[in-house]
A and B are shown apart, each in its own frame.
Chain A
Amino acid sequence: MLDWLARLGRPVIHLLAALGRSVIFLFQSLAGWPRSYKAVQLWMRQVYSVGVLSLIIILVSGLFIGMVLALQGYTILVDFGAEQALGQMVALSLTRELAPVVAALLFAGRAGSALTAEIGLMKATEQLSSMEMIGVDPLKRIVAPRLLAGFFALPLLSIIFTMIGIGGGWLVGVDWLGVDAGAFWSNMQASVDFQADVLNGFIKSLVFAWVVTWIAVFQGYDLVPTSEGISRATTKTVVYSSLAVLGLDFILTALMFSNL
């Protein structure tokens, strides 16, 4: 009986300890981050590798998701003779839900796993230790710019995703299936509210950016410095951040849209 309780308790304790470590980690990295030109340069380099390099996958997926959305939506809406509402449907599903969530999932797979592997490799090859011994805090030099770059890049990627997705929807709906272009845009503009839809979607992606980057960088910093440890941590990053994004998405949606 006691054994059984212990087996139940151990993972909970481990989980709580990891959570605690990760919160301390976040504060230690970001507290007093220097606002010098050099720090900005370091941050920019990370925005490049986390944001700009994820742009291709975001653009391509956004385009295809917008196109599929229009195609699927059209076949349903045309039954009700409501294909005029296609623009509204595409825009609403993208801004409210699909763009923040799918962009965050892609970001976790593309940039998050790379962050984990990169920091993990630096740990395994003693680069973090040696930086510490040189008297440079790796939390400030390595971790903080990556965290801040991730927080910044994902919301931007997500809004680009929305734009390109609507573009894809327009391509299929108007150009291919022949929905009236005027109706497409005016229905969209009448139903999409800047505050309720665009801003709320943006807030969602801000939250996801924090969570995904935090998980990725912490997993890299906290891993067991072996090749097996790195591969496990990379997997964990993708799994945990996907689950966190989907779970948080439900909570945020409930908070934002339920009383509309």
Chain B
Amino acid sequence: MQNQRRMEVAVGAFMLLGVLALVFMALKVSGLAWETSNKTFQVEAYFGDIGGLKERSKVTLAGVTVGRVARIELDQQWFEARVLLELDESLQGKLSKDTAAAIQTAGLLGDNYISLTPGIEEATLAAGDTLRDTQSALILEDLINQFITRSTQD
């Protein structure tokens, strides 16, 4: 009986250690926070070229993450990329309607993300609105090409 009890305690401790390890992995290693359940609202934006933008890419405002890319699809009429952005609900009714969205690259070779720049209009963005002022991704190869063709023209 004493043995049985010691064994049960050991197994219990083992399980606890496993759960602890899982929590450690979630919080400390992968930096999982409970923000995913926060309420959001969606706006859309059209880009001529999204480069390496992916679903779940970051959306930032002044460098602070304020949302994620929810969906990317092709607009069949204009052949542009239609990107749905999920923004933090606290921003609803505060961003002006002419807010600009630009696809940027973190560092020279890093991931693409969307950077928002507030505008000056009085009317504010509501769920389902479209961002008019967009700037497509800068493709490094295109830049180099342009640079080469221009320098050969000179």
Contacts and interface: CB of A to CB of B under 8 A. Distances in A.
A45 B31 CA distance: 35
Interface in A85-101: 91, 95
A51 B7 CA distance: 11
Contacts of B7: 44-45, 48
Contacts, number: 66
B11 A48 contact: yes
A188 B17 CA distance: 22
A194 B10 contact: no
A166 B4 CA distance: 34
Interface string A187-199: 0111011100110
Contact of A159 (B4, B21, B32): B21
A135 B10 CA distance: 32
B21 A95 contact: no
Contacts of B4: 41
Given A159-B25, A162-B21, A198-B25, A52 B30 contact: no
Interface in A139-190: 153, 155-157, 159-160, 162-163, 166, 185, 188-190
Contacts of A41: 4
Main secondary structure of the interface of B (DSSP, over half): helix
Given A44-B8, A189-B30, A193-B30, A95 B14 contact: no
Nearest to B14: A52
Given A159-B21, A159-B25, A160-B17, A51 B11 contact: yes
Contact of A47 (B14, B20, B26): B14
A189 B31 CA distance: 5
Contacts of B28: 185, 189
A113 B116 CA distance: 59
Contacts of A156: 14-15, 17-18, 21
Interface string B29-73: 111100000000000000000000000000000000000000000
B44 to A, nearest CB: 25
B24 interface: yes
B136 to A, nearest CB: 24
B29 A198 contact: yes
Contacts of A44: 7-8, 11
Contacts of A162: 21, 25, 29
B31 A190 contact: yes
A242 to B, nearest CB: 23
B91 interface: no
Contacts of A157: 18
A160 B18 contact: yes
B22 interface: yes
Given A189-B31, A190-B31, A163 B11 contact: no
A34 B20 CA distance: 30
A31 to B, nearest CB: 25
Given A166-B29, A189-B31, A198-B29, A48 B22 contact: no
A91 B18 contact: no
Nearest to A41: B4
Nearest to B20: A163
Given A159-B22, A189-B31, 8 more contacts: A45-B7, A48-B11, A48-B14, A52-B14, A95-B29, A156-B14, A162-B21, A198-B26
Interface of B: 4, 7-8, 10-11, 13-15, 17-18, 20-22, 24-26, 28-32
Interface of A: 41, 44-45, 47-48, 51-52, 55, 91, 95, 153, 155-157, 159-160, 162-163, 166, 185, 188-190, 192-194, 197-198
20 contacts: A44-B8, A48-B7, A48-B10, A51-B11, A52-B10, A153-B14, A156-B15, A156-B17, A159-B18, A160-B18, A160-B21, A162-B29, A163-B20, A166-B29, A188-B29, A188-B31, A189-B30, A194-B25, A197-B30, A198-B30
